[in-house]
Every structure is written in C-alpha cells, then in structure tokens.
Amino acid sequence: MKLRPALLGFGLVLASVAFAADAKPNLKPIFNGKDLTGWKDAVGNKFWRVENGILICQNDEKMTGNYLETEKEYRDFVMEFDVRWKTETPRGVDTGIDIRKPRIQLQLGVSGSLKVDMTGSFYVGRPGYPEAGQAKDAKKLMKPEGEWNTFRLQAKGDTFTCWINGKKASEYTDPKFPGAATIGLQLHGNVKMKAEYRNIRLAELN
C-alpha cells in the first residue's frame, strides 16, 4: 500500500513525458531535395535550382529580384530550415521568408533600407523593423559566414517567433497579419547574391 503513491507519481511523470513528446511538432519536408515540386515562381524557376540536395537562389547580371513560393497556403505553423551564404559585395546578402497576409518577413542578411544585418528580425513593411521584433543578439547565435545555420520560424495566432541554432532570437506580436498565405523565399533585387537552403521542414499547428 505504501508503494502506491510513489507508483502513481512515477506514472504521472511518465505520462507527462509522453505528452510532451506527443506535443512536439511533427516536421515534414516541404522541399524534397531533388527538384522544385510543391514550389513555384513567376518566371519558371529561372533563379532557383537544386544541386546535391541544396536549394540555391542566385540572381542574374541584371540583379533581378524574385520569389519562390509554396503552392500551398499556411497560417499557423512551425518551419525549420538550414541556410548559408557568403557576402560577394559590400551590400551583402538580402533574403528572407515571407509569410501570412498581408506579408510579414523573417529577414535573413542585410536590410536594404537600413544597410545593416537584420538577420532573425521581423520586417513588417512600413515602419520597417519594429524594435520588439528585432533579433539584437543574432550575431552571437550565428555560426561564421559560409557555414550552415539552422532557423526555426513559428507563426501561431498573432505571435511570430524565430530561433537560431536552437536559441530564441526574436518574438513579435501583431494582429495585423491574420491571413493564410504561401511561404515565399526571397531573392532580393538590386543585390548580387547567392543563398542556399536545405532541410526545409514544416508542421502545421492546430
């Protein structure tokens, strides 16, 4: 009889662990590592290619901008991906992940308007990058340029969160972005750049 409370407590611990495991998002690939199935852009994927399991975006001599977007729309989700780039010009790389309607973007690289690295920060159009959504310690969380960094982007209700290499980098709450939309990977115009993505996975949230 004396063992019953202990056994009950042990059972509750096991149940809580199992619940936590079940609660973890079941991330599934939305990029197959072979081709652009499930993705589209306006010019026949001219600026996007797949090599050795890596999705590469690179502009032309005219430094044309472009977006590669999922065919499916998403609202609440968790997305993980690896990304890397090397600066080829003083302007720096300018890419990002566009989500929701109207659009809100997770910035990757140098902001075109601010001319400083805003990686991990949320861009909302005017007025730009709200201070509450800035990843001020992103440089401390990032690996050296040219190495792979793992990002996690979560959109849940009116809150948007970014983690860099397992550490929370930014969180921004704003009700002005409620609509489901395609997820867009940006190739910024007027910038000579190349960025590479891999292991793009996503789980929709209820």
Residue 53's CATH number: 2.60.120.560
Q: Does residue 11 form part of some domain?
A: no
Cβ atoms 157, 174 nearer than 8 A: no
Q: Does residue 15 form part of some domain?
A: no
pLDDT of the residue at 4 = 52
Question: What is the rounded CA–CA span in Å between residue 200 and residue 152?
Answer: 10
pLDDT value at 11 more than 70: no
Q: Does residue 161 form part of some domain?
A: yes
- The pLDDT of 47-60, averaged and rounded, is 94
- The pLDDT of 128-157, averaged and rounded, is 97
pLDDT of the residue at 142 = 98
pLDDT of the residue at 23 = 59
Average pLDDT, the chain: 89
pLDDT of the residue at 82 = 98
SS (H, E, C) 117-156: ECCCCEECCCCCCCHHHCCCCHHHHCCCCCCCEEEEEEEE
Provide the pLDDT confidence category of residue 37 given band limits of 50, 70 and 90.
Answer: very high
pTM: 0.87
Provide the pLDDT confidence category of residue 89 given band limits of 50, 70 and 90.
Answer: confident
- The pLDDT of 32-38, averaged and rounded, is 96
Provide the pLDDT confidence category of residue 110 given band limits of 50, 70 and 90.
Answer: very high
Question: Number of folded domains in the chain?
Answer: 1
Provide the pLDDT confidence category of residue 101 given band limits of 50, 70 and 90.
Answer: very high
Q: Does residue 14 form part of some domain?
A: no
Beta carbons within 10 angstroms of residue 89's beta carbon: 10
Q: Does residue 110 form part of some domain?
A: yes
Q: Does residue 118 form part of some domain?
A: yes
Q: Does residue 13 form part of some domain?
A: no
pLDDT of the residue at 14 = 42
Cβ atoms 109, 93 nearer than 8 A: yes
Q: Does residue 102 form part of some domain?
A: yes
Domain that holds residue 94: 27-204
